[in-house]
Amino acid sequence: MIVLGIESSCDDTAAAVVVDGREIRSNVASSQAELHARYGGIVPELASRSHVQQIVPIVRAALSAADLTLQDVDAIAVTSGPGLAGSLIVGLNMAKGLAVASGKTLIGVNHLQGHAYAGWLYDPASPNPGTQGQNDVVPAAPEELCGFPLLCLVVSGGHTDLALIKSHGEFERIGRTRDDAAGEAFDKAARLMGLGYPGGPVIQKIAALGDASAPLPRAWIPGTWDFSFSGLKTAVLHRARTEGIYPAPEGGPDQDAVAALARSFQEAVADVIATKTARAAVEFGVKGIVIGGGVAANSALREALNAKSSVPVMSPPPVLCTDNGAMIAAAGYHYLKRGERSGLDLDVMPGLTIEEAPSAPAAMPV
């Protein structure tokens, strides 16, 4: 089954063609990072306007890179939530328009479940396909490698969720952030350190040069699988003030101090997330862990989780951790295989949680 996946929930306009929920035929994205950089975060009005400009060329590019036309695909999967309403609606209307024009099946996808499904993807064009780094042409899917139940960790700019995947499409959330999402914490910490937006990649880069001798506090919230990062953000603010990093002095802050603070911050985030995820895996008796979301691209987090986990950790390559259309196509494939379809009454669901269905059952076939 060939699925065209469309994603526009936040600040990436993305589309991809995926075969049988696993094989990437094309995966095209246009990032708005530069557009939002000078504001230090996403400006919703600018995001939706940019999606409107990008969506048609991106979908065209995804089809043409796969050497296909719309008539060749079997279904169109689109993120219907969660995300920014004004951004979601652009991808959703594009998908509906394509479905009506081509007569193809439409399926709404939960973006957070999409992040988990990145663990099923492999790119035959890449020299080391799949999430396991094997050289086999078709790497084993998580349920073949380990079996259900799996634990999934979704750490993105808007969410930090721990959920059980009991079977395909059956998610049960066991933990979440009580305040900032992990990616939001990276972005805010980077802003305090004068490092720009998005914060994650730049903190990872500069942290590699930093001294780790002054650890920052960790919020463990014992007895729950929840997370909290707002206290850590305040600790970064205090240290940035004490060390003359924030507000930035004339000529900029001392870069050794910035690198040390970035490293302490990254280690605190990675330590808490990896420790709690590895413990939850034991407590719930899961057979493996899949990770996704922009922060799952972080090498310190990946190393910490691999070191602590007693079950296999399936970490998609960084390009599949951040928002992309392929993960939406992969999730959509599994919904379709279970017989689900969306109708033209499919609407955006900005507040959807990881365990909720992305759309009501189709009232009428497309």
**In the complex, which residues of this chain contact ligand KG4 (CB under 6 A)?**
10, 156-158, 183, 186-187, 198-201, 204, 293-295, 297-298, 322-323
Looking at beta carbons only, is 201 or 253 nearer to ligand KG4? 201
Which range in 22-30, 177-185, 235-243, 315-323 contacts Zn ion by CB under 5 A? 315-323
Distances (CA, A) of 159 to 10, 22, 134, 320: 12, 24, 30, 16
Looking at beta carbons only, is 86 or 293 nearer to ligand KG4? 293
Looking from the CA of 338 toward its CB, the CA atoms found within 13 Å total 13
Partner residues linked to 15 by β-bridges? 6, 28
DSSP state of 67: T
Looking at beta carbons only, is 139 or 157 nearer to ligand KG4? 157
CA 55, CA 45: separation in Å to the nearest integer? 16
CA 165, CA 290: separation in Å to the nearest integer? 9
Q: Which residue is nearest to Zn ion (CB)?
A: 156
**8 Å CB contact between 48 and 84:** yes
Measured from the CB of residue 103, what is the shortest distance to Zn ion in angstroms? 30
DSSP state of 360: P
According to the binding rule CB under 5 A, does residue 156 interact with Zn ion?
yes
Looking at beta carbons only, is 120 or 186 nearer to ligand KG4? 186
The binder of 362, among Zn ion, ligand KG4, none, by C-beta within 5 to 8 A per type, is none
**8 Å CB contact between 76 and 99:** yes
Looking at beta carbons only, is 160 or 342 nearer to ligand KG4? 160
Measured from the CB of residue 111, what is the shortest distance to ligand KG4 in angstroms? 7
Looking at beta carbons only, is 187 or 323 nearer to Zn ion? 323
The binder of 199, among Zn ion, ligand KG4, none, by C-beta within 5 to 8 A per type, is ligand KG4
Measured from the CB of residue 111, what is the shortest distance to Zn ion in angstroms? 6
Which range in 126-134, 150-158, 165-173, 313-321 contacts Zn ion by CB under 5 A? 150-158
Distances (CA, A) of 111 to 84, 135, 229: 12, 29, 22
According to the binding rule CB under 5 A, does residue 160 interact with Zn ion?
no
| Amino acid identity at 99 | A
Measured from the CB of residue 318, what is the shortest distance to ligand KG4 in angstroms? 7
Per the listing, tokens 């980077």 go with 190
Q: 58 CB contacts (<8 Å, ≥6 apart)?
A: 13, 14, 15, 28, 29, 30
Measured from the CB of residue 105, what is the shortest distance to ligand KG4 in angstroms? 25
- Residues at the interface with Zn ion (CB under 5 A): 156, 323
